[in-house]
Structure 1
Amino acid sequence: MTYFTPGPLSLIQDLGRHGHQHIGVSPGGPMDEHAFLWANRLLDNPLNAPQIEITMGQFSCQFQADTTIALTGADMSATVNGQPVAVWQSLHIRAGDQLSLSGARRGIRTYLAVKDGFRVTGILNSCATVMRDGLGGADRRGGKLAAQDLLEYKVTSPIPTRQVPQQFIPEYGQDISLNVIPGYQYDRFDKAERERFFSAEYTVTPQMDRMGYRLSGTAIHCQTTSLVSEGIALGAIQIPADGQPIILMRDRQTIGGYPKIGCVTARDLSTLAQCQPGAKVRFIEKDLYQAEAERVIEHHFFQGYVGKKHAEQILNQLTGPAE
C-alpha cells in the first residue's frame, strides 16, 4: 500500500475503457501511451497493468511493502529517500521507502508502475479514470487520487534493473510536428485551406486537458460549418466556427458536429500530451497505410513479437524505406 501526497492531478490509468462509446462512455487511458507501455515493459507486466499518471509533479508516496517500480515520461527530479533516481528505468523499492517528485522543465506527465500493477477494481472492464464520466480510479467514481487513498500491490522479490534504450526515450520539446491522417471532412476543406493548415504554425494554449488541446494560429475554415453529430476518434482535429483547431484527447466526448480535417496519429498524441502551454505545433500529412503499418509494429514490439531491426524490416516491406 502507499500513502500519498498526490499533487495537482494524479490518476489511475490502464489502456482505457474500450467498446462503450456507443453509450457515451469515453475510453480514457494514458495521455502518453508510449511512456505508459514502456513502464509496464520494464517490469514484464501485462500491457494493461494499472499505473499512476502524475501530472505537473509535486507528488510523493510511501511504499509499505517490497516491490520493483518503473518511472517513465517527464523527468520530475525524482528521489527515493532523498536520493536522486532516473526515469525510464526500473528500481527496487523496500518497505518504508519514500518516493518524491517535484516538477519538470520539459514534459508534464510521469508514469509510475509497480511490478504486477496496482490492484484496482475496474468498472466496464477498466480502471481508467475519466473524471468527466465519473468512472474508474481508486474510488471507481472517477476521482483523482487523494491524500487518504491507499493502493494495494503484490509484494515481489527484486528483479534485475532495466533501462529503456536511449533511442526509445523521447526528448520532450516545445517545438513539435504532428502527423495527420486525412479523414472525416477533409475533402470539404478547400485546397487553399488545407495548404494553409499544413503550412501554418500553431501554439498550444492554456486551454488544454485530458479532453482536448485547443490551439491558436492561422484560422482554417470549412465549406460545411455544421454537421449531424458523429462518432469521434482519438486524435480527431475539430475546426470550430473560429477556425482554431482543437485536438481531441483520451477523455474526449464520444460524438460531435464540428468539421474535422483529420486525425493525429496515436504515437504523436503521446508527444503532444507532454507539451506545455506555449509549445509550437506544425502538421504533416501522413499516409494512412504507413500509419497503420507503424501502429501494428508498435503493438507487436510491446507484445514482445519483434525487435527494432525486425520492425524496420517489416515497415520497409509494407511501405518502402523511409526517405
Structure 2
Amino acid sequence: MSGFKVLQPGLLTLIQDAGRFGHHRIGLTTGGPLDALAFKWANRLVDNPMNSTALEISIGGLVLEAETDAQIVLAGAEMPLKINGIEQERWHAHRVKAGDKVEVGFSSQGARAYLAVSGGFQIEHSFSSSATVTREGIGGINGEKLQQSDYLHCHPPGEHRAFRLPEEHRPDYFDDISLRVITGYQQHAFSDYQKRLFFSSEYTVTDRADRMGYRLEGPEVKPSFDGILSEGICHGAIQIPADGQPIVLLNDRQTIGGYPKIGSMIAMDTARMAQLLPGSRISFEEITIDDAHNLHCLAHVRFNNTEPDQVD
C-alpha cells in the first residue's frame, strides 16, 4: 500500500478538500477548510491542484507513519512539525520516506493547520467531495474525524516540485482582530443604536466555537423581533439569537435558520476568525459589498502573484 498510517489522530483532525458545493437543496452543508488561504498554500507548496484533499488539524497532536515516499508540507497555525523527531520548518515542503514518523505538535498561536501531501490524499468522494462533516456523517473516512489506525491512501511516488513560502508572505495569527461585515436586508430589524452598539463593541470568543459557528460574548444586541421564517443561510452570516449574543456561522453550518441576521462576515475574515482560540477578542467593521469584492479580487491577485521559492 502507498500512504500514511495514523498513529495518533490529534484532538480533531479532519479530511478536507475545498468543500461540497451545489447540495444545499438537499440539506448538505459545504464543509471544507475553515482557513481556505492556509489550505491553498499547503497544496500549492507541494505542487497540487487547489482542490486536492489534505488534513485540517485543529490544535494539534497528530502523529503519522509514512508507508510511501512523498513530499509533505504543514501550513497555518504555529504547530511544530517533526520528522523522525527532528523539528522542521513550516510552510516548507519536506521529503519523507517509507518508515518515517511525522509529528504535528500543539499550537502556540492559531487554531488550524493544514497538512498536504504530494498528489493529495486519495479519499472516496461523497456527493462530489471528500470534505468531512461529522454532524452529517459524510465525507472523509466513514464521515468521522480521524481515528487511530486509520489509513490515508496516496498516489505512488512521482515527480513533484516542492516549494517554500518566504516568511514575509506568511500570515500572522493575532488574538485581537477587527473583522469586516456587510450588512444585509435584515439590518432594518436593528435600530441605529443597536447597530452602533454592535460595530463599536468588543466581543470575546467563547468555548462554544466550532466548525458550525463561533459563539461570541459581549454587549447584547437586540432586534425588533425574535425570529423569522427559516431561510437559507450564507457562509459568515451573523445570527442574533434571543440572548443577544452573536453567532458567526461557518463551513459546517445548518443550511437554513430562523434567527435575525445583522449581516455577513467576508470569507477572508471568517478564515482569520477560525484561527482564534476561546478568550480571543474581536470587533466588527462595516464595509460595502463593493469593498468586499475589491478585497476578494486583491487577495486573489496577491495569492497568484506571490511566488514561493522552489526547493530541492
Specify if TM > 0.5.
yes
Q: Which amino acid aligns with 1:266?
A: A
2:140 alignment partner, one of 124, 137, 141: 137
Tell me, in whole angstroms, the C-alpha distance in 1 between the residues paired with 2:300 and 2:15.
22
What residue in structure 2 maps to residue 49 of structure 1?
52
Name the SS of the counterpart of 2:262 in structure 1: strand
What residue in structure 2 maps to residue 321 of structure 1?
none
Tell me, in whole angstroms, the C-alpha distance in 2 between the residues paired with 1:233 and 1:95.
43
What residue in structure 1 maps to residue 291 of structure 2?
290
What residue in structure 2 maps to residue 318 of structure 1?
none
Name the SS of the counterpart of 1:89 in structure 2: coil
Q: Does 73-82 or 160-169 show the bigger shift?
A: 160-169
What residue in structure 2 maps to residue 108 of structure 1?
111
Residue 187 of structure 1 and its aligned partner are, at CA, apart by: 2.1
Residue 1 of structure 2 corresponds to residue 15 of structure 1 = no
8 Å CA contact 2:71, 2:117 repeated in 1: yes
8 Å CA contact 2:211, 2:251 repeated in 1: yes
In structure 2, the CA distance between the partners of 1:308 and 1:102, relative to structure 1 (3 Å rule), is closer
8 Å CA contact 1:107, 1:276 repeated in 2: yes
Q: Deviations over 1:32-75 (max 9, x none)?
A: 11100111111221111000111121110011111111110112
Q: Which amino acid aligns with 2:96?
A: I
8 Å CA contact 2:230, 2:257 repeated in 1: yes
Residue 24 of structure 1 and its aligned partner are, at CA, apart by: 0.8
Name the SS of the counterpart of 1:119 in structure 2: coil
Residue 99 of structure 2 corresponds to residue 96 of structure 1 = yes
Name the SS of the counterpart of 2:163 in structure 1: coil
Tell me, in whole angstroms, the C-alpha distance in 1 between the residues paired with 2:267 and 2:122.
27
In structure 2, the CA distance between the partners of 1:301 and 1:126, relative to structure 1 (3 Å rule), is farther
Q: Deviations over 1:103-144 (max 9, x none)?
A: 1121111110011110001011001000011110023xx111
Tell me, in whole angstroms, the C-alpha distance in 1 between the residues paired with 2:244 and 2:44.
41
Q: Which amino acid aligns with 2:123?
A: V
1:117 alignment partner, one of 114, 120, 125: 120
Tell me, in whole angstroms, the C-alpha distance in 1 between the residues paired with 2:268 and 2:109.
18
Name the SS of the counterpart of 1:79 in structure 2: strand
What residue in structure 2 maps to residue 162 of structure 1?
163
What residue in structure 1 maps to residue 310 of structure 2?
none
1:28 alignment partner, one of 19, 28, 31: 31
What residue in structure 2 maps to residue 317 of structure 1?
none
What residue in structure 2 maps to residue 71 of structure 1?
74
Name the SS of the counterpart of 2:44 in structure 1: helix
Q: Which amino acid aligns with 1:147?
A: Q
8 Å CA contact 1:81, 1:97 repeated in 2: yes
- Give the TM-score normalised by structure 2: 0.93
8 Å CA contact 1:211, 1:250 repeated in 2: yes
Name the SS of the counterpart of 1:151 in structure 2: strand
- Give the TM-score normalised by structure 1: 0.90
Q: Deviations over 1:247-291 (max 9, x none)?
A: 001100000010001111101111111101000000011221121
Tell me, in whole angstroms, the C-alpha distance in 1 between the residues paired with 2:121 and 2:103.
18
Residue 239 of structure 1 and its aligned partner are, at CA, apart by: 0.4
Aligned-residue CA RMSD (Å): 1.6
Name the SS of the counterpart of 2:226 in structure 1: coil
How many residue pairs are counted as aligned between the two chains? 304
Q: Gapped runs of 5+ residues in structure 1?
A: 310-323
Residue 158 of structure 1 and its aligned partner are, at CA, apart by: 6.2
Tell me, in whole angstroms, the C-alpha distance in 2 between the residues paired with 1:282 and 1:29.
25
Q: Which runs of 4+ in 1 moved over 6 A?
A: none
Name the SS of the counterpart of 1:28 in structure 2: coil
Q: Which amino acid aligns with 1:38?
A: W
8 Å CA contact 1:92, 1:159 repeated in 2: no
Name the SS of the counterpart of 2:181 in structure 1: strand
8 Å CA contact 2:46, 2:162 repeated in 1: no
In structure 2, the CA distance between the partners of 1:116 and 1:72, relative to structure 1 (3 Å rule), is same
Tell me, in whole angstroms, the C-alpha distance in 1 between the residues paired with 2:169 and 2:261.
31
